[in-house]
């Protein structure tokens, strides 16, 4: 392969396309980039599909997007510094957009700010089946399949960037007696439309972001009652009438759910909002990141470079639990593309130095007290990635918005999405909108009007 670099990006979701965007900005003639995407469009989980289970090719449905999903964090915390919401929409819009508004914004940057057509780097409907590292030639063999033709082929790459996301492999616990339940049981990954639960009594298992939003969505769209069940600690929001929290399930007996505090509830449907397991089956075992959800998973220098094996050629994107999402992916994509093309001022470091630095972050993550500490870690992580790249997110300032957002949620879980935030980069104050709980029109036209 001579001195030429050949980079494989797995996945054209919000992470993968950001890496592509930055390779395109650098336009290094010695670096060729190919992105394999298993679907026929980019931006991953920001696309809605009615399908669940497997898709038309028999492949596992990757994303868990649902109708009427509105951002649960302020858009000002996710904004691209070089392409603000003002730049895209030409005016102030409210702070908590529905899914299509966010997808449109991301796509706008990819199209308007790129030097060339990024889609030409992407091989659509092509799924990566296996990646192995070749010690001798210090490169990777990537085996991929074109889903439309069934053709399987191998290609060699000098570098691989894994950008397949971490919310695709649902964690599905089981409970004593669950097989006796006569109603519908789904994981939130297969939740597509809250309106399907209208008039029902719903059990939501879990006490994190999915549980919180699925419970609120079901209430908004007319569920009769919602009981949520927590394992470690309750969400403890000031829930409106219709939502209540219970501890862990002890036993399910037909429609009756018995909880460990001795209470019980009769429900019609169960939605497991029990999170996801990291899964990278297309990588050989020695290349696989193993972690539980964390803002700083271990094993990655700068949260990005795979340290085990020490080949400095395998990267992961977006494996962190997320607050700043798009801004974080962007900083990561830039850092990785600069690292690979050798255009970072402070690199390379020795593997030992990298491991030491990584351990300091992992240790800091171990000591977090609450979500506010996690927000600060992620803000510092973005700044750390950006140092020396010429990229200028003001993550600490955006972090302050997330701290306020957490307080808003505690204050009122129904109205937190109605609060306006000020853009860190354009200085624009968000527009006001119809209260989220009363707004059933999630079209772009309605939201930005």
Contact residues for ligand NA7, defined by CB under 6 A: 167, 171, 173, 188, 205-211, 231-232, 248, 273-275, 293, 321-322
The nearer residue to ligand NA7, 12 or 207, going by C-beta atoms, is 207
What residues form DSSP beta bridges with 10?
Answer: 36, 162
Q: Are strands 201-205 and 184-187 parallel, antiparallel or unpaired?
A: unpaired
- Separation of alpha carbons 418 and 131, rounded Å: 45
Cβ closer to ligand NA7: 158 or 274?
274
In angstroms, give the least distance from the CB of 308 to ligand NA7.
24
Rounded Cα distance between 205 and 202, Å, is 10
Q: Torsion-angle region of residue 319: left (phi > 0), alpha (psi -120 to 50) or beta?
A: alpha
Closest CA to 340 of 358, 300, 313, 321: 313
Reduced to 3 states, what is the DSSP secondary structure of residue 142? strand
Which residues, at least 6 apart from 133, have a Cβ–Cβ distance to it below 8 Å?
Answer: 139, 140, 284, 286, 287, 309, 311, 313, 314
Q: Which is nearer to ligand NA7, 34 or 164 (CB)?
A: 164
User: E-assigned strands of 138-223?
Assistant: 139-146, 152-157, 159-162, 184-187, 201-205
Find the helix or strand (DSSP H, E) in which 444 lies.
helix 444-448
CB of 173 to ligand NA7, least distance (A): 3
Q: Within 10 A of 19 (CB to CB), how many other CB atoms are there?
A: 29
Q: Which is nearer to ligand NA7, 130 or 209 (CB)?
A: 209
Any idea how long the chain is?
A: 449
Min separation Cβ 319 and ligand NA7, Å: 12
Of 211 and 300, CB closest to ligand NA7: 211
Q: Which is nearer to ligand NA7, 259 or 339 (CB)?
A: 259
- C-alpha to C-alpha distance for 311 and 294, rounded to whole angstroms: 24
Least separation in angstroms between residue 72's CB and ligand NA7 is 7
CB of 426 to ligand NA7, least distance (A): 25
Least distance to ligand NA7, CB of residue 248, Å: 6
How big is the chain by its Cα radius of gyration, in Å? 22
Q: What's the token pair of residue 12?
A: 């054209």
Between CA 234 and CA 206 the distance in angstroms is: 9
One DSSP character per residue, 274-319 reads --B----TTB-GGG-----S-SS-TTEETTTEE-TT--S-EEE-S-
Taking CB atoms, the residue at the shortest distance from ligand NA7 is 275
DSSP 218-234: HHHTT-SEEEEE-SS--
* Nearer to ligand NA7 (CB atom), residue 81 or residue 275: 275
Judged by CB, which is closer to ligand NA7: 210, or 341?
Answer: 210
Q: Least Å distance between CB 371 and ligand NA7? A: 11
Count Cβ neighbours within 10 Å for each residue of 392-401 and write b for 16 or more, e otherwise: ebbbeebbbb
Q: Which is nearer to ligand NA7, 147 or 271 (CB)?
A: 271
Q: Which residues in 99-109 are b (16+ Cβ under 10 Å) and which e? A: bbbbbbbbbbb
Q: Which residues contact 134 (CB under 8 A, 6 or more apart)?
A: 140, 141, 156
Instruction: For ligand NA7, give the closer residue by CB, 98 or 341.
Output: 98
Which CB atom, from 188 or from 311, has the smaller least distance to ligand NA7? 188
């Amino acid at each position: 392969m001579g001195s030429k670099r050949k980079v494989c990006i797995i996945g054209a979701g919000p992470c993968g396309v950001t890496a592509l965007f930055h390779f395109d900005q650098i336009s290094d003639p010695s670096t060729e980039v190919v992105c394999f995407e298993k679907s026929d469009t980019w931006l991953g989980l920001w696309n809605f599909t009615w399908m669940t289970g497997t898709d038309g090719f028999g492949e596992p449905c990757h994303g868990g997007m649902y109708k009427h999903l509105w951002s649960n964090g302020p858009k000002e915390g996710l904004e691209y510094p070089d392409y603000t919401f003002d730049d895209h929409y030409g005016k102030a819009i409210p702070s908590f957009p529905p899914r299509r508004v966010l997808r449109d914004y991301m796509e706008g940057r990819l199209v308007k700010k790129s030097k060339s057509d990024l889609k030409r780097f992407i091989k659509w409907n092509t799924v990566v089946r296996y990646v192995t590292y070749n010690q001798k030639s210090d490169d990777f063999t990537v085996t991929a399949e074109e889903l439309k033709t069934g053709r399987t082929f191998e290609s060699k790459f000098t570098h691989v960037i894994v950008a397949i996301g971490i919310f695709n492999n649902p964690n599905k616990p089981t409970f004593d007696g669950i097989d006796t339940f006569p109603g519908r049981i789904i994981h939130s990954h297969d939740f597509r439309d809250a309106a399907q639960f209208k008039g029902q009594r719903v059990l939501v298992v879990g006490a994190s972001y999915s549980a919180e939003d699925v419970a609120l969505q079901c209430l908004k769209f007319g569920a009769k009652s919602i009981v949520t069940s927590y394992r470690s600690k309750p969400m403890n929001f000031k829930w409106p009438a219709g939502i209540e929290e219970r501890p862990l399930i002890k036993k399910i007996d037909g429609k009756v759910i018995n909880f460990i505090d001795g209470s019980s509830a009769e429900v019609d449907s169960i939605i497991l909002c029990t999170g996801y397991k990291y899964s990278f089956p297309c990588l050989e075992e020695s290349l696989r990141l193993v972690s539980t959800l964390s803002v700083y998973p271990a094993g990655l220098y700068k949260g990005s470079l795979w340290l085990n094996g020490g080949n400095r050629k395998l990267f992961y994107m977006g494996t962190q639990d997320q607050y700043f999402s798009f801004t974080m992916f962007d900083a990561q994509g830039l850092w990785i593309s600069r690292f690979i093309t050798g255009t970072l001022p402070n690199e390379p470091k020795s593997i030992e130095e990298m491991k030491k630095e990584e351990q300091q972050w992992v240790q800091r993550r171990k000591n977090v007290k609450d979500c506010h500490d996690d927000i600060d870690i992620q803000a510092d992580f973005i700044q750390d990635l950006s140092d020396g790249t010429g990229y200028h997110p003001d993550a600490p300032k955006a972090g302050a918005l997330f701290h306020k957002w957490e307080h808003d949620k505690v204050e009122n879980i129904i109205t937190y999405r109605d609060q306006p935030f000020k853009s860190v980069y354009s200085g624009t104050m968000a527009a006001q909108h119809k209260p989220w709980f009363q707004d059933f029109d999630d079209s772009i036209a309605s939201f930005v009007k």
